[in-house]
A and B are shown apart, each in its own frame.
Chain A
Amino acid sequence: MDWECCWSKDEIAPESCPYVGEGEEDLYTSHRRRVVEKCVECPRFKNDLARMKGSGYPLSDVLPYILTEFQEQKAQMGAMLSFLNSKTREIKFLREVGIVLQTSMDLDEVLSIAMTAITAGKGFGMNRAFLLMTDKERRNIKGYLGVGPKDYEEAWRTWEDIGRSNFSLKELARDFQKTKLTSEKVKFHDILNQLTVPLADQGHIFNRALHGKKPILVENALNNPDLDRGLARILGVDCFLVMPLISRNRRIGVIIADNCITHKPITLQDMQSLETFAFPVAFALERASLYERLQEEVAKQKGANLKLREQQELIVKMEKMALVGKITSSIAHSIRNPLMVIGGFARTLLKGSEENDEKRSYLESIVRETRQLEDVLSEVLDYSEALFPVTDFWDLNGLIAAALADMDGVLEQAGVVCRQELSPELPMVRIDYKQISYCLKTIASTALAAMDQGGELKVESMQDGDGVVLRISDSGKSLTKMAQEALTAPFFQTQEMGEGVGLSLCKTILERQGNTLSIISRPGGGNTYSIRLLTRKENI
């Protein structure tokens, strides 16, 4: 009998069976495999079986039983194999993700790997996922991050890009963290903002999932009166999965996953796989959040330690100041009082002496020398005080106005007019108020000394880069280079300026605080003293 199917032939010619595909060419010569794999499914074979039955072949009645059983078993085997393959993939994937989740302390890295795993085709393949976390006060669950395409266009573009790349899941997550995490955080801002739910709202689906410690699959949400339609409307889908994130009985948050683009149904198997995955994610999120909080606490602690060290240094400095204060007080008391008595009585005697008394010049010498000793003593005491500045933020213009107000009488007596040009928008400067005030007064006094015929004293303030400049200009005679040097060297004496520590002390004070003093004398007359103060100095 001629059979329609090739089952009876040991070998067949190529292309004589339409069911042998490319890559299966060995079936042409392998009779047994061809019959088992192809012929049992072939419609021609079924026709041959029918013909056999008609011709009275004795086995033709039982053959269909065996064949049906064989096909059922084969289908079961196939399903099991497919299930096995899928589970193997899942385990491999969970292992890959698990390693990162177990080791990472970086919240962004954990978020990236978790959300990529849920949404990537190589992971759970959901279209979109939202992560909601409980806030620090543990009062609300709040939307934190959304990942996925906003529309079909974006989905198509993203999936095509991913399809072209040969990235592993870990690489995809790394790429996501590097290039997309920041933008994704704001992309779903509108949806995330509407997802805040109080933890006390026990009836809400998020809290029900957290309380039951089980995922909830919501289907047909828009038409189901028992379900919260508001959430479905916010998400724009009627089928989504709510996955609780719980670590050591602590409610960490919730993941919402859906297939907003493909609308593929979420299966029980999807739900079970995600449930297995949720545990390490919750644990890793908790650990990373705790680590982040720990880092914040460490930073706070470091700040407090720094502050404490500053305070300790300040105490040491103040102790030194107190010691210097004691010494200088003692000097002040032991020298100033005798000087006052000597000079004071000399003045009294001078007042009572006759104009032509030859001893008058002796008394005048005593008065003059005592005065000079008193001046030197004042300067030495000022110098020791300048060793320990007490700095704070001050308004320089206020300082200038107050210092010049103190000098009103002296200026008037010297016939000098004072002009102030102060910039109204100066930043605060970190200075020792008393010392800078002293510098300004000393410079102004030096400037007055150069204007013995009266003149104009100009005081300006202005911003200059990261500093502020205080400029004092006189209209007196120009100082020579030597006089300028003398002014800034302690106890250096010149014919022009006498001797003292005044400007030298100013220079020391300013330089110790990182500021500068410069003097420019114009050849035609007039001198300008510039003090540059830093505004951003944290520590001195």
Chain B
Amino acid sequence: MALDRKIRVLVAKVGLDGHDRGAKVVARFLRDAGFEVIYTGLHRTPEEVAMAAVQEDVDVVGISLHSGAHMALVPKVMKYIEEYGGDLSEMVILVGGIVPEDDIKRLMEMGVDSVFIPGTPIERIIDFIKKRVPEKKRIKKERA
């Protein structure tokens, strides 16, 4: 089942991490895949990312981190999304960056939909979004 409208994606850089080449490349390729991509720019706080996700009513939040602070920052972004009225049950949360295997497991347990480490082919990210966004919305509808 495809979504009957454009998928909106927030590509976010959070915290003290100045490496956004990866985030920009991903944003560009997601654009070419037909998504509407909003880039936050560098050094955003978890609150800012969460507020942007709510106001822009995005389907996907992709958080890019190379600082090693993912275990501290990603849960915070998710917490604030809910606090600002966002609905994590229909929002796809992705993490991209240098994340050790153990942490990937823990992030997924916290509700992150997928973690993409350096070297991930861009098609994998695109396919995942195309599949996961409608899937999550359908599950939510069925539960309602």
Real binding pair: no
List the interface of chain A (C-beta within 8 A of B): none
List the interface of chain B (C-beta within 8 A of A): none
